[in-house]
Amino acid sequence: MEDVKALLQTYAEEDVSDITHIWFRRHNPKDESIQGYAVKGSGVLAIVLYPLRGNLEIDLGKSRPSGRALKWYSGYAAVSRAEEGWKARFSLASARSYYLERLLPHEIAHCIAYSQGRMRHAGYKNENFADNLAYARYPVR
């Protein structure tokens, strides 16, 4: 939690002042694919983060991940094909770095977009904005 507070302090006050909550939640056993999201409503602007499974893997599906997905995990996880499909495998240290340097800045960018009225109806534009801000703060290793 202290790492998250320290990261928030590196942002401009006007960018993060509207964030009211950061929640760390358990996964729904039926869907462990969600890593995090930002949500706004009823005076709340929150970031919700979910942990990696105990084996520190993320299932990426049966087909080869897109170049965008490979770039997203590069420097943090080894992406490889297994019998069940493609997986991103983290070490404990790389998982921590991934959350602090890639996932949390991505979700903070969504909050910035909400605050500045930049959220668009096309989901891919929202994701591109958030990815670009995360990459700008922490260039791909």
Categorize the per-residue pLDDT at 58 as very low, low, confident or very high, splitting at 50, 70 and 90: very high
pLDDT, tens only, 83-124: 989 999 999 999 999 999 999 999 998 898 888 777 766 677
pTM: 0.85
Output the average pLDDT for the chain.
87
Give the residue extent of every domain in the chain.
Answer: 2-53+91-137
Do 62 and 85 meet the contact criterion of CB atoms below 8 Å apart? Answer: yes
- Number of other residues whose CB lies within 10 A of the CB of residue 73: 20
Residue 119 vs residue 9, higher pLDDT: 9
The closest of 42, 36, 43, 10 to 22, measured between CA atoms, is 36
Categorize the per-residue pLDDT at 30 as very low, low, confident or very high, splitting at 50, 70 and 90: confident
Domain 2-53+91-137 has CATH 3.30.2010: yes
